[in-house]
Amino acid sequence: MQHNPDEIQAEAGAPLPPSPALVEARIAGLEEERELYRTLFSQAGDAVVLAEMEAGGRTRAFVDMNDTVCLWTEYSREELFLMKPSDLVAPEDRPLLDEYRRAFAAERWITMEMNFASRSGKVIPVELSARMFFLRGRHLALFVARDMSRTQSLRKAIAESAERWRSITESCPDHILMVNREGVIEFANHDFAGADRNNMVGLRLSDLMPQPYRPMMDLAVKNAAAGREDIQEIELARNEGPALTLEAHFNPVVVGEIVESVMVRFIDVSERKSVERALRESEARYRTFVETFIGIAYEIDPASERPVFFHGAVESITGYPEDDFLKGRVRWDDLVYSADRAAYAAPDTHAPTAEREYRIVSRTGRVVTVVELIRRMPGESVGRGLTYGVIYDTTERRRREELLKRREEELSETNLRLVEMNTALRVLLEKREEDKELLERNVSENVGRLVGPLMEKLRATGLSPRQDAYVEVLEKELSQVVSGFGRTAASSRFKLTPTELQVAALVKEGRTTKDIARMLNLSKSTIDTHRNNIRKKLDIRNQGVNLRSYLMNLE
């Protein structure tokens, strides 16, 4: 704004009456500023209202408003001047006005959220900022309302996003934790490491870890806070079962190019680790098997009909190294023994498995008997699928089988001879039994015919009682000799002495110890000793078995 010399002189020196030019200049400046204010006031994106106030914070009337107020409320300026500012508040929010008025009267500046209602009933959510001031003897208030429709949409979107995040994290089987740059937990989707999720907030992540893993956790959080992703593996003990293997992923959460926090995701890899361990063990077993395989394992390429895998005891069986077969310098077909070409002829190509036995001639000229087991995998055309197989050297087994077969034949012949000998021996034993029975009958008949009459004549000679008893014993002994009891008792199985045989025979007849002692001219104690020895040799001592009954059944 330009100033004339009179104005400068008036300002620098003593006060002078303003000149007409100065007054006009000041009026022009005020008009310019008023127009600037009016432009800013009218063109503001927020609704701006100047209202006259009553005591207690109640609005009395509109003093002025910008065009945005008319646009939102669908009322003209003339209509608004006939209304009170409180008439623009939506009916559902009017009960809150008293609370807002009390706060407004107590403070010079207040910010609140409420809903405006337009002429058509459209609800406009606003953030209303108000300030009271005193001007030219009147209480005035300036209200600035910002449309919160977009903000509420954003809030709703944020709330929905947060709900989706919560739903996703809570339904995710992984353990997800949010920690700040210092490693303090701010969120957890599940209970973790024996701690309740609600009690974990505020704890340090490393405090939940076993002691050996704590430095690792702190370092991983530090790396992620610096913008570098990190992955660590830990093991957590469980009350039951093997330890839990977890893979911890540390990812920086970037907001506006600044790492605000760190997301830690713990993935249970126990099953995967178990599968990997089983796979490694399986591979080790397979490698050991292939390296120690006593046969030859192969795979044939159907396109070239050459082996792409030929491993095992190749050189020990054929005399050629594996490489000769893989590079085609030696063909397996060329090793087949000429007389076994028919046995080696290709089996039925429709069959998924096949087995054939034939002989090959090794590099040194040794004839080797082999058994080949073949398995074909389905291909695009019959007979063109992958072919796998194993070849075993059965030369030694064949030799042993032939030797075993010859020995079986020899044993069969020997067994036949033994059967014939057993038959002859059985005939001889039967003949011996017949001869034995005939001999026993002859002895019995001879004793009865020759000895019996002599014993009768001896009794007729007038024997004394004692002699008569001896004769009776003699007759009994002769009877026992030719009887089954005599033969049984005298057998080597019992090993009875002659005196024990006599005592046993008399006991069997029912003689008492006193009678036996008198007849054998021995003492009773001696007879008792013989009786005990007999029991011992017959293995019936201390068993409560009657000796006479046992001897009677012995025959």
**Cβ neighbours for 178, distance < 8 A, ≥ 6 positions apart:** 185, 186, 187, 188, 253, 261, 262, 263, 264
Instruction: State CA 438 to chain mean position distance.
Output: 84
pLDDT band at 1 (very low <50, low <70, confident <90, very high): very low
What is the arithmetic mean of pLDDT over 71-87?
90
Per residue in 292-332, pLDDT (tens digit) is 677 888 888 777 778 888 888 888 899 999 899 988 899 88
* Neighbouring C-beta atoms of residue 225, cutoff 10 Å: 20
- Between 148 and 443, where is the model more confident? 148
pLDDT band at 213 (very low <50, low <70, confident <90, very high): very high
* pLDDT score, position 53: 86
What are residue 303's phi and psi, to 5 degrees? -75, -50
Instruction: Please give the mean pLDDT across all residues of the chain.
Output: 81
* pLDDT score, position 34: 65
- Is the pLDDT at 42 greater than 70? The verdict is no
The rounded distance, in Å, linking the Cα atoms of 358 and 368 is: 9
What are residue 143's phi and psi, to 5 degrees? -110, 125
- Between 205 and 437, where is the model more confident? 205
pTM for the model stands at 0.40
Q: What percent of the chain has pLDDT over 90?
A: 16
Per residue in 137-162, pLDDT (tens digit) is 888 888 898 888 877 777 787 778 77
Domains and CATH numbers, the chain: 5-152 (3.30.450.20), 172-273 (3.30.450.20), 293-393 (3.30.450.20), 463-554 (1.10.10)
Of 67-71, 93-97, 387-391, 454-458, which range is least confident?
454-458
**One-character DSSP codes across 426-462:** HHHHHHHHHHHHHHHHHHHHHIIIIIHHHHHHHHTTT
* pLDDT score, position 17: 67
* pLDDT score, position 16: 59
* pLDDT score, position 252: 94
Nearest partner of 370 among 298, 305, 292, judged by Cα: 298
- Is the pLDDT at 101 greater than 90? The verdict is no
* pLDDT score, position 481: 61
- Between 353 and 409, where is the model more confident? 409
pLDDT band at 348 (very low <50, low <70, confident <90, very high): low
Per residue in 367-379, pLDDT (tens digit) is 999 998 888 776 5
- Angle of CA points 65, 69, 71, to nearest 5°: 135
The rounded distance, in Å, linking the Cα atoms of 550 and 527 is: 18
* pLDDT score, position 10: 47
Helix (H, G, I), strand (E, B) or coil at 401: helix
